Structure 1
Amino acid sequence: MTAVLTPATDADLEVMREQLGRPMRGVVGIAARCVCGNPTVVATEPRLPDGSPFPTFYYLTHPAATAAMSALEATHVMRELSELLEADDDIAGAYRAAHDAYLADRAAYGEVDEIAGISAGGMPTRVKCLHALAGHALAAGPGVNPIGDLALARSTWSPERCACANPRVAA
């Protein structure tokens, strides 16, 4: 499933600047939002305005989600998830399909030779970055990225509960 992007407003860009501590670059849209409306995942051009290739099309911006993925990575769960990929053909196949879907989503915004075939998070054969995998899972929806789904399920953060410092609406 291809993520449905919503246009990034000036308010979204300001929220993401606050979330990440820097101005946003190459934004093509918001791929997932907090229940309060704040951005959670941004979609970024495969080539940034300065000419740099940028393979991470879906980028997790939400501070609580990012912190939860960092905490999960600190438990060394990536080794366990990588072993799961080796042991379970169904999950490995779904993970490869997630890689292909990620590449197709990004390709809609241009092909960049330097990153051809490279998605994010270690896809399609290993688990490298839960932030990227959770970002893809949030953008694409449940059932698309099995490792991203597992990371979200095991984390202390939930996309169904607002944990924003400045929520847009009552959560």
Structure 2
Amino acid sequence: MVIQTDQVPNDDQLTIIARQLGRAPRGIQAITAIDGEDTPLVLRMQSIVDDKPFPTLYWLSSDRLKVELSHIEARGVIKQLEARLKEDSAFLTAYHRSHEDYVARRWQHMTQEDRDLAEQRGYTELLRQRGIGGITNWDQVRCLHTQYAHHLCGDNVIGQWLDAEYGVIDSLP
């Protein structure tokens, strides 16, 4: 079960997140998805971290999902998806809409201070053009983890496909 949320992590959740990431977390704005046991699944990250752009808005923190998606990636699914994007114009259009949703959400969740800093440092174009996971070529798939993190919090056709083909969502409590 996935529960969408928008909460600042408390100390207990930060401890869980540090264990999930293998390090102390930096740049977390909020937890945006949890499972039925209240375990963080997806983190929303700040777009400016340590005065530098951080183009990954949604970060998959769930150990269970990371393992599941790594197994799927190891099967060569990214190449399969990229082939489909070349052959299926409707799928490509939906994928481009997923990137547009990601960029819009990134900008929506930036503070005015971060927007001002982005403008001053020349990061605005980068943050408005880089898609899911910071990818520049919206016809390619870089990583299933970032796609799926976005799926759990937004509109992502690759994540929808992963649930339909592999039942990734079914691996959660």
TM range (shorter): 0.7 to 0.9
Q: Distance in 2 between matches of 1:100 and 1:146?
A: 12
Q: Does 1:149 align with 2:150?
A: no
Aligned CA-pair RMSD:
2.0
What is the one-letter code of the residue matched to 1:31?
Answer: T
Runs of 5+ consecutive residues of structure 1 not aligned to the other structure: 163-171
Distance verdict in 2 for CA 1:37–1:159, change over 3 Å: farther
What is the one-letter code of the residue matched to 1:28?
Answer: Q
8 Å CA contact 2:162, 2:168 repeated in 1: no
* Cα offset, 1:156, TM superposition: 6.4
Equivalence for 1:127: 141
8 Å CA contact 1:20, 1:61 repeated in 2: yes
TM-score, normalised to structure 1, is 0.82
Distance verdict in 2 for CA 1:25–1:68, change over 3 Å: same
Equivalence for 1:19: 20
What is the one-letter code of the residue matched to 2:29?
Answer: V
TM-score, normalised to structure 2, is 0.81
Q: Does 1:106 align with 2:117?
A: no
Equivalence for 2:86: 86
| Secondary structure in 2 matching 1:59 | strand
Q: Does 1:161 align with 2:172?
A: yes
* Cα offset, 1:26, TM superposition: 1.1
Q: Distance in 1 between matches of 2:90 and 2:7?
A: 32
What is the one-letter code of the residue matched to 2:56?
Answer: T
8 Å CA contact 2:103, 2:127 repeated in 1: no
- Considering fraction of residues, name the structure with more strand: 2
Tell me whether 6-15 or 114-123 shows the greater mean CA deviation. Answer: 114-123
* Cα offset, 1:151, TM superposition: 2.4
* Cα offset, 1:158, TM superposition: 2.7
Q: Distance in 1 between matches of 2:75 and 2:143?
A: 13
8 Å CA contact 1:133, 1:148 repeated in 2: yes
8 Å CA contact 1:30, 1:39 repeated in 2: yes
Equivalence for 2:74: 74
* Cα offset, 1:45, TM superposition: 0.3
- Considering fraction of residues, name the structure with more helix: 2
8 Å CA contact 1:68, 1:155 repeated in 2: no
Runs of 5+ consecutive residues of structure 2 not aligned to the other structure: none
Q: Distance in 1 between matches of 2:172 and 2:30?
A: 22
Q: Distance in 2 between matches of 1:4 and 1:57?
A: 15
* Cα offset, 1:34, TM superposition: 1.2
Equivalence for 1:166: none
* Cα offset, 1:157, TM superposition: 4.1
Equivalenced residue count is: 156
Percent of aligned positions that are identical:
28
Q: Distance in 2 between matches of 1:35 and 1:157?
A: 15
Q: Distance in 1 between matches of 2:166 and 2:19?
A: 23
